[in-house]
Structure 1
Amino acid sequence: MPTSSSVTFVGLHYWAGSGREFHALAHLLAPAYSLLAPNLAGFGDAPPPEVISYTVDAYANQVAQFIEDNQLTQYVLVGHSMGGKIALALAARQPAGLLGVALLSPSPPTPEPMTDEDRMSSLKAYGKPTEAEKTLRTITVRPLSAADQQQIVQDNLQSSRLAYDAWLLHGSREDISARMCTVEVPCTILAGDQDAVMSPSVHGLETLPLLPEGTPLEIISGAGHLLPYEAPEEVAHLLRDFARKIRPE
């Protein structure tokens, strides 16, 4: 359990992933900082929600409950891809204890740029190991260990059908941009310059203008979409710097 005076990072994972993607980051940030990463409903080993809802707000509710259950009083949301939009939805509520938001290749507050062809292709890929492996090759650039590759594929295949489809058909299309004027905590965006899913230009056009003035967009060279796997050292360094700026020791 984090101490009342420490800053805790709360990692929110990408679509068809799980909280396990943050294991390397948690190790690199310790012991100075704790990083907790829940499995969002329908992914990893998370139980299905009592009321079947996979909206962005439903996920924000889950994260708010997780924060309350863990008695976090000073925390930074670290939202990756899908988790980025969820982090922003929660930040817009101005919850107690929130110090900042770090976005890793985030899904924008506006509808995610995805062609109908790509959306249909992803829907058809559900539950197919060969397709999960193909997705892995598409969304990553840097070499990964065999264990990490296996974990990424396993998380993809473990996703529930309802959660998997709900994000493609609804969550990714939600527009929460009108709420961003109430996000008042410091924010930062990290992106890989070789991201085939969400290019840095998307963040610059769709997300950055809606965040507090002065929010930086940091680019990680030679990285794809899965930054916690591909560039854990660089991400950990940027998170430590971000934490020190918003809460100097």
Structure 2
Amino acid sequence: MTVESPYAALLAEIPTRELVVDVLGSSTHYWEYGAPDAATTVVVVHGYRGEHHGLEPVIAQLRGIRIISPDLPGFGESTPLIGYRHDIAGYSQWLREFVARVGVTGTAIILGHSFGSIVVSAAVAGGLSTPKLILVNPIAAPALEGPNGFMSRVTLAYYRAGRALPERLGKSLLSNWLVVRFMSVFLAQSPDRDLRRWIHSQHHDYFSRYSDRDTVVEGFEASISNDVSMFAAKIDVATLLIGADRDPITSVGAQSTLATLFPNAQLHILQGVGHLVHYEKPREAAALIVDFIGDGSLA
């Protein structure tokens, strides 16, 4: 059962429209929040197996800024890429093309959350022009190394099994209710029971909105084979890193090390939250964003 968002009233105050553009063969659906003529535009890229709804709690807190939020190809409403793998190279090229198609190359600030932090970092390191970069819950270190290496390998085996099984069985495994709930419980840190209930509802509503098994497995393989540290040294624009002290995917130590790899980065660690800053601490994240870009305000 869908649970109403605690941020719904704030989001309803913002003018929103859905648009679609063809990028690398993907019918890419995207949502524009705020006035089209706002002085500042931010393009936001969601995390793995998410879609544009995931970053709406942060968007709901912002005023006076234009936000462009696409569904990654193969997720949500967007169709898969044609002729490209759904890996970091494919997604970063798609992002460069998408930003060009919507006419904001060199002017839009780019923001990525989780898997999106890898995509946008690769794109900027690869030549995407942006005045500033924002990474929320950045993937700071290799997933196959460190304390979570074993769990990453187990999860990889799960995804590959889902792709290898007959289609009906594989689809059932990859979208299994218990697996989605386990993931949601693992990531949620808030002690607020109502908020946790809504977070679980969000994951059940949107976590399985992918186009096909190949796309979702390619995406997961990309998510554990790459991290932001691989691209940081090549990014010379001002960068804001918004981390979390309880992030089970990236430790505070790894986030601190990552900040030193950028030529020009600042790191803010939010307290009492894990990998779901966008759900559990959206106002705190929005305040950091407004301060960093020097425009807009909080609702």
* Structures share fold, TM-score greater than 0.5: yes
Indicate if the aligned counterparts of 1:55 and 1:170 stay in contact, CA closer than 8 A: yes
Q: Distance in 1 between matches of 2:231 and 2:250?
A: 22
Cα distance, 1:52 vs structure 2? 4.3
Q: Could you say which residue in structure 1 is the equivalent of 2:182?
A: 134
DSSP 3-state at the match of 1:157:
coil
Indicate if the aligned counterparts of 1:41 and 1:49 stay in contact, CA closer than 8 A: yes
Q: Could you say which residue in structure 1 is the equivalent of 2:52?
A: 19
Q: After superposition, what is the alpha-carbon deviation per residue over 1:194-224, rounded to whole angstroms, capped at 9, x for unaligned?
A: 111222222123x2222124x2210111111
Q: Could you say which residue in structure 2 is the equivalent of 1:166?
A: 218
Q: Distance in 2 between matches of 1:177 and 1:24?
A: 27
The 5 Å alignment of 1:12-161 reads 12-30=45-63, 32-73=64-105, 74-96=107-129, 98-108=130-140, 111-112=142-143, 113=145, 114-121=148-155, 123-124=157-158, 126-142=174-190, 143=192, 144=195, 146-159=197-210, 160-161=212-213
Q: What TM-score results when the alignment is normalised by the length of structure 2?
A: 0.72
Indicate if the aligned counterparts of 2:74 and 2:80 stay in contact, CA closer than 8 A: yes
Q: 1:170 to 1:63 in 2, by over 3 A?
A: closer
Name the one with the larger strand percent. 2
Indicate if the aligned counterparts of 2:51 and 2:75 stay in contact, CA closer than 8 A: yes
Note if 1:6 corresponds to 2:39: yes
Indicate if the aligned counterparts of 1:24 and 1:229 stay in contact, CA closer than 8 A: yes
Q: 1:221 to 1:179 in 2, by over 3 A?
A: closer
* Letter aligned with residue 86 of structure 1: V
Is the radius of gyration larger for structure 1 or structure 2? 2
Aligned residues: 240
Q: Distance in 1 between matches of 2:187 and 2:227?
A: 24
| Structure 2: tracts of 5 or more residues without a match | 1-31, 159-172
Q: 1:132 to 1:103 in 2, by over 3 A?
A: same
Q: Distance in 2 between matches of 1:58 and 1:189?
A: 24
Q: After superposition, what is the alpha-carbon deviation per residue over 1:102-157, rounded to whole angstroms, capped at 9, x for unaligned?
A: 1111123x533441443323652621111101111111111326444322222222
| Structure 1: tracts of 5 or more residues without a match | none
Q: Could you say which residue in structure 1 is the equivalent of 2:259?
A: 208
Q: Distance in 1 between matches of 2:66 and 2:197?
A: 26
* Letter aligned with residue 111 of structure 1: P
Q: Could you say which residue in structure 2 is the equivalent of 1:225?
A: 275
Identity %, equivalent residues: 20
Q: Distance in 2 between matches of 1:92 and 1:60?
A: 10
Indicate if the aligned counterparts of 1:54 and 1:171 stay in contact, CA closer than 8 A: no
* Letter aligned with residue 118 of structure 1: S
Q: Distance in 2 between matches of 1:217 and 1:163?
A: 32
Q: Distance in 1 between matches of 2:188 and 2:156?
A: 16
Q: What TM-score results when the alignment is normalised by the length of structure 1?
A: 0.86
Q: After superposition, what is the alpha-carbon deviation per residue over 1:76-111, rounded to whole angstroms, capped at 9, x for unaligned?
A: 111111111111111113433x11111111123x53
DSSP 3-state at the match of 1:86:
helix
Cα distance, 1:175 vs structure 2? 6.4
DSSP 3-state at the match of 1:103:
strand
